[in-house]
């Protein structure tokens, strides 16, 4: 009898201890750690909205996006208020160096070139946030690499974006742009005037220009690669929007 009571008390203590530890970790995740990070960021001179329990700035962000999408896109070059209204408002309110809340995690926005350069040069001091393991399979390379591996791969691709290399690609870019403008001119010539949805053409322009520059006369092969990349991007977006549960397909 005494042994049964002892076992029950022991089990109760173990369960209570586990619940306390679990509760402490949750409290730390949803409140204590975010508030500590907020205090530290403000001490560094970075400003932003006060932390809101668990949701952060997510609700306001989605609300502003829905509101912006419900209106026609303005005919101007200033597309940031339409594409990312929350970020646009945030930067105007708090300045180029600010932070916003993605749930209980702050995301720092840097727009000063010197600060951005400092982050890229000190890549070991600024690790990337944990991502869905499935995303690492779909998007390998610089996006998911860290530390020395990231620096090595970045060094490999840097020469491709050198000014002299880009100059050699101008003819390919010009040829692709000429093809599209010729199509538009024919449409206008046939009908006198024409309303054109330029988005598909601009997508194809980017695809064709890079394909011609990378594959030369075999740019049809490049188009196929871009089609595969679009499928890969679609899968990656699905992964980003889903919750990762180990063992779940």
Taking only the tens place, the pLDDT of each residue in 128-140 is: 777 777 777 777 7
Work out the average pLDDT over 81-90.
89
What pLDDT was estimated at residue 36?
94
Q: Please tell me the distance from the alpha carbon of residue 52 to that of residue 30, in angstroms, as a whole number.
A: 10
DSSP code at position 57: T
Domain ranges of the chain: 1-121, 162-249
pLDDT exceeding 90 applies to what percent of the chain? 14
CA angle 193–196–197, rounded 5-degree value: 170
Work out the average pLDDT over 57-67.
88
Taking only the tens place, the pLDDT of each residue in 68-84 is: 888 887 777 778 888 88
pLDDT of 199 > 70? The answer is: yes
User: Which residues fall within 8 angstroms of residue 201, CB to CB, at 6 or more apart?
Assistant: 180, 183, 184
Q: Where are the alpha helices (DSSP H) in 122-247?
A: 133-138, 147-157, 163-168, 170-191, 198-215, 219-241
* CA neighbor of 61 nearest in space, from 72, 53, 49: 49
Taking only the tens place, the pLDDT of each residue in 38-54 is: 999 999 889 999 999 88
pTM, entire model? 0.63
CA angle 81–84–87, rounded 5-degree value: 95
What's the chain's average pLDDT? Answer: 81
Contact 66, 85 (CB under 8 A): no
What pLDDT was estimated at residue 51?
93
């Amino acid at each position: 009898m005494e042994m049964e009571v002892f076992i029950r008390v022991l089990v109760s203590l173990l369960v209570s201890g586990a619940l306390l530890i679990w509760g402490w970790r949750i409290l730390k995740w949803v409140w204590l750690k975010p508030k500590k990070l907020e205090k530290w960021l403000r001490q560094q001179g970075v400003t932003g909205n006060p932390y809101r329990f668990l949701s952060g700035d997510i609700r306001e962000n989605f609300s502003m996006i829905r509101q912006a999408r419900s209106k026609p896109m303005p005919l101007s070059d200033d597309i940031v208020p339409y594409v990312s209204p929350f970020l646009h408002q945030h930067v105007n309110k708090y300045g180029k160096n600010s932070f916003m809340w993605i749930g209980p995690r702050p995301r720092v926005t840097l727009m000063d070139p010197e600060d951005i350069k400092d982050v890229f040069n000190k890549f070991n001091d600024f690790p990337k946030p944990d991502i869905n393991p499935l995303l690492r399979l779909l998007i390998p390379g610089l996006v998911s690499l860290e530390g020395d591996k990231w620096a090595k791969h970045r060094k490999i691709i840097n020469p491709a974006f050198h000014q002299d290399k880009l100059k050699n690609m101008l003819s390919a870019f010009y040829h692709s742009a000429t093809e599209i403008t010729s199509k538009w001119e024919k449409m206008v010539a046939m009908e006198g005037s024409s309303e054109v949805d330029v988005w598909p053409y601009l997508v194809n322009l980017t695809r064709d220009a890079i394909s011609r520059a990378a594959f030369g006369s075999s740019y049809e092969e490049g188009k196929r690669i871009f089609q595969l990349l679009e499928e890969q991007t679609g899968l990656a977006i699905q992964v980003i929007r889903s919750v990762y549960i180990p063992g779940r397909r």
